Amino acid sequence: MSARESPQNRFEARRHKERVAFLVVKFLRVHEAFSGIAAEFAAQSTGTAEALGGSGLFEKVRELTGGTAFDLKEIAHSLFRSQPPAGPQPAGRGKRQLLAGRKSSIERLSLDSYIGTCFHLLLILQESLYQLKRYSPELELEKSEFADILGLAHTRTPMHADDMTAEVERLRALEAISATLAVESLDMARRAIERCESLLLGTARVIRRFLASARDNEILILNLLQNKALVEKVYGEGAAEEILAELCAQTGPNQGTGTECALRFVRERCCNLSALEPGTAS
């Protein structure tokens, strides 16, 4: 048995296929969840910082960063950071090989960078929303209390006039600092949202091209069949059929729709199709 056919190599090849499939599906789920968060933020951000803090968005972002987004980041790192950096291409390689190698290198770098950066920006968004949730009510209370203190200062006695004036000025300075906290947290949250939207859009585009190198991945195709509705949410109506047709173009007789070709392919390759319930891939 050659090294290429050894059980260890077969195991590693299958594990790689699984990680690629899980990367794609996790990304689709992160994209869907974040789209909902961004839409809710846009609807809420025209109100007060206190209202946004109590909107429940912090909890949703915390769930995302502690679950699917974290998993996506870890899968991306295991797939792309475990590979050695691309070096000079060996002499004698044809143009097609050189182009394919460079394309693969750029895709790996882009996906790892986009996904990793997006995850850390989600953490910044989480912290900004926490500050709005935790401190905005206290800041509103401080404004009311400061107004009461100013009222008392106007009734001060001459004996304590100088001391009271100094205290009021110190409070004014602190109140001005407090007033900026909510504004800055809201601005930081807004910028994190905008940047995450841009990074997820870039990730979606690279993954769309990255799929072309996964045409022999029956686990990925099976997962796409199971998540056709999610594919359509991210890439638009008709995208699932188009992607499946492209993936299966070289896997056998190209007869029928992309879904039909994909079903034939996974039935030939996969042992367990129990998750592909009737109607799931229709």
Instruction: Please report the pLDDT score of residue 123 as a whole number.
Output: 98
Judge whether residue 276 has pLDDT over 80. no
Quickly count: other Cβ atoms within 10 Å of residue 45's Cβ. 17
- The dihedral of CA 46, 47, 53, 56: what is its sign? negative
pLDDT digits (tens, 9 = 90+) for 112-161: 999 999 999 999 999 999 988 887 666 666 655 556 556 655 555 554 55
Q: Rg of the Cα trace of the chain? A: 27
Residue 224 has pLDDT above 60, yes or no: yes
73-100 burial, b at 16+ Cβ within 10 Å, e below that, comes to bebbeebbeeeeeeeeeeeeeeeeeeee
pLDDT tens, 66-124?
999 999 999 999 998 876 555 555 555 666 666 665 667 788 889 999 999 999 999 99
Q: What confidence score (pLDDT) does residue 61 get?
A: 97
What is the Cβ-side half-sphere exposure of residue 183, based on CA atoms within 13 angstroms?
A: 5
Give the residue extent of every domain in the chain. 3-84+99-135+183-214
CATH of 3-84+99-135+183-214, picked from 2.30.30, 1.20.120, 2.40.50, 2.60.40, is 1.20.120
Residue 250 has pLDDT above 90, yes or no: no
pTM as predicted: 0.79
Residue 172 has pLDDT above 80, yes or no: no
pLDDT tens digit sequence for 20-36: 999 999 999 999 999 99
Share of the chain above pLDDT 90, in %: 44
- Alpha carbon distance, N-terminus to C-terminus of the chain: 41
Q: What is the pLDDT, as a whole number, of residue 248?
A: 87
Choose among 22, 29, 17, 71: nearest CA to 213.
17
